[in-house]
Amino acid sequence: MALLTALLIVALAGVAATAMASALRLRGHAMANMIHREQAYQIVLGGEAWARDILLQSQQENGYDALTEEWAGRVPPMPVRGGSVGGFLEDMQGRFNLNNLVHEEAQSPVSVGRFQRLLDILGLDPNLANAIADWIDPDDIYGGPGGAENDLYAGVSPGVRTAGKPLVSVTELMQVHGVTQEVYQTLAPFVAALPVRTGINVNTAKPEVLMSLADGVTRADAQVIIDQRKLEPFEKPEDFLYLPVLNQYDIDTSGIEVFSNFYLLNADAQVGRGRVRLFSLIERTGKGVIVRMRGQGVI
């Protein structure tokens, strides 16, 4: 009996030792992963600093921003400080700024019209423009067909009220009446939620955004514009507006720009098993380049 007890004690001690060793290894791996992740985060911050320098340099070189410039190139994963980093900058003024829908607490007819055309081009309900504008504007007055104010939300989404202020993130669209997951996934690549009203940079605008500038602009027309700006970027709005391909269209000149102030950095770094993906909204101002928002998700 004493021998069996002794053997049991030895066996239990062995199990405990094995468990302790496994726990220590797991703890060690977890600690290493935490350290690697922090190192990766510091690396992407370095990438952010590089992006700011590139944008400042571009601002000093000329008065326009185009996809032919250095900032527009993608950086493939490259070795750096024990890991790798890569990423790219996107001109957010090549998208439609949702906060343009409302100006001085009232809906902007020009912007609403452009957004309705964009929705139609994407195969979505143009009336969603009124629902999104109603979400942003501070009043309880329906902006038009498909609009949605607080009384409607009270009936279908208790506890939900319109924001009554500019969007902070495009993800807020998921709260707007009529915006389903499918609608959001379709729309998100073409829109932005910038903190101020902005123009559309026709040097970088996506084809669908170019098509939304006036009734009837075709995808073929947009491709002609894209081919032209590859050869020679538009240095002033008139260079774009006087293109022969646009002569037949009635384009409102407001908000047509050839430069941009807002860019989104999408950077990815990896050290060991630690990986970080950083999104930074960067703004160029008259006083320099600043980071407006930073996160590790959609902004």
Q: Does residue 103 lie within any of the structural domains?
A: yes
227 or 146, which is more confident: 227
Structural domain boundaries, residue 117: 94-257
Mean of pLDDT values over 277-290: 93
For CA atoms 168, 171, 173, 175, give the dihedral sign: negative
Asked if residue 125 lies in contact with residue 222, where contact means CB atoms within 8 angstroms, the answer is no
Q: Is the pLDDT of residue 4 over 60?
A: no
CA distance 296 to 276: 8
CATH number of the domain at 119, please.
Answer: 1.10.40.60
Mean of pLDDT values over 80-93: 90
Q: Does residue 184 lie within any of the structural domains?
A: yes
Residue 169 burial (CB count, 10 A): 15
Q: Does residue 124 lie within any of the structural domains?
A: yes
Alpha carbon separation from 51 to 173, 175, 177 (Å, rounded): 28, 33, 37
CA distance 43 to 269: 7
Q: Is 22 exposed, middle or buried (0-12, 13-18, 19+ CB in 10 A)?
A: exposed
pLDDT tier at 192 (50, 70, 90 boundaries)?
very high
| Residue 89, C-beta contacts closer than 8 angstroms, at least 6 positions apart | 51, 54, 55, 71, 72, 263, 264, 265, 266, 282
In this predicted model, what pLDDT tens digit does every residue of 260-269 receive, in sequence order? Answer: 999 999 999 9
Predicted model pTM: 0.86
Asked if residue 211 lies in contact with residue 234, where contact means CB atoms within 8 angstroms, the answer is no
Q: Does residue 216 lie within any of the structural domains?
A: yes
Question: What is the count of structural domains for the chain?
Answer: 1
CA distance 45 to 212: 36
Q: Does residue 242 lie within any of the structural domains?
A: yes
Q: Is the pLDDT of residue 105 over 50?
A: yes
Share of the chain above pLDDT 70, in %: 89
What is the rounded radius of gyration, in angstroms, for the C-alpha atoms of the chain? 26
Q: Does residue 212 lie within any of the structural domains?
A: yes
Q: Which of 98, 264, 262 is nearest to 171 (CA)?
A: 98
Please tell me what DSSP assigns to residue 249: S
Please tell me what DSSP assigns to residue 108: -
The pLDDT value given to residue 8: 34
Tokens 């066996």 correspond to 11
Q: Does residue 98 lie within any of the structural domains?
A: yes
In this predicted model, what pLDDT tens digit does every residue of 7-60 receive, in sequence order? Answer: 333 333 333 334 444 444 546 557 777 888 888 888 889 889 999 999 999 888
CA distance 184 to 124: 10
Q: Does residue 52 lie within any of the structural domains?
A: no
In this predicted model, what pLDDT tens digit does every residue of 209-246 receive, in sequence order? Answer: 999 999 999 999 999 999 999 999 999 999 999 999 99
244 or 79, which is more confident: 244
Please report the DSSP string for 121-175 in residue order. Answer: HTTS-TTHHHHHHHHHSSS----STT---HHHHHHHSTT-----S--S-GGGGGG
pLDDT tier at 106 (50, 70, 90 boundaries)?
confident
